[in-house]
Amino acid sequence: MKRVFIILIFCLFAISSHGQQDPQYTQYMYNMNVINPAYAGTTEGLALGVLYRSQWAGLDGGPTTFTFAGHAPVGERVGLGISIIGDEIGPVKETNAYIDFSYTIPVTAETKLAFGLKGGLTFHDIGIQEGTIDLIDLGDPFFAQNINETTPNIGAGVYFYKPNRYYISVSMPNILDAVHLDSNGNKIGSETQHVFAAAGYVFDLSENFKLKPHGFLKYASEA
């Protein structure tokens, strides 16, 4: 008989209003390596996930996020992963492409501690000439052309877990403080650094039912 899983999600957000924000990961437990590279390879075999999130449905320019993530163990202690995240709000588009690496060490006979690193590129595009915004001053030189940037970034995390029972995750997927400039070299924004903390536990309610509560905390520092 197939087991039935009950999932409860508790999300707490402490978000700064300065600078660019990372995409909202409300379904993080289904693609954990997006926010924590240490998660890569912690499951058996290849794991793939695709998610789409649309906020303010029906409103033009509302935030949308597309995520593709995959990871697998390579050997006994090494894991590799990949993630692609596309975030769009109004004329602003941001695409992140990352490769994840993790190394796991046994703590006890049943628990493990994984360390992870991620590295990749962020493609930032402000399509101001695509008719996505209404300009008040058509002669403003800031809006004379589209703004396209590519910036590198790195991330790190730790993941302590007992398979099929509980986990504790702490990570910082964007460590570098990237600054966005326009075509004239003027600062138009910067990336806000985020710290993610998550935890979960599996309760056996009966032979066929499990309760899986998750907790999630995101902190954004000022840019």
Domain boundaries, the chain: 22-192
Residue 97 predicted with pLDDT over 50: yes
Query: Across residues 45-50, what is the average pLDDT?
Result: 92
Residue 29 predicted with pLDDT over 60: yes
Level-2 CATH architecture, domain 22-192: Beta Barrel (2.40)
Residue 182 predicted with pLDDT over 60: no
Tell me the C-alpha distance between 17 and 62, whole Å: 17
What pLDDT sits at residue 221? 75
Looking at residue 66, its amino acid is: F
What pLDDT sits at residue 8? 43
Tell me the C-alpha distance between 51 and 84, whole Å: 11
Tell me the C-alpha distance between 62 and 79, whole Å: 36
Q: Produce one character per residue of 27-51: b if its CB has 16 or more CB atoms within 10 Å, e if not.
A: ebbebbbbbbbbbbbbeeeebebeb
What pLDDT sits at residue 100? 98
Task: Name the nearest CA neighbour of 214 among 4, 16, 26, 21.
Answer: 26
Tell me the C-alpha distance between 216 and 188, whole Å: 30
Residue 184 predicted with pLDDT over 60: no
Residue listed under structure tokens 């999130």? 53
Pairing verdict, β 209-220 and 4-14: parallel
pTM summary value: 0.77
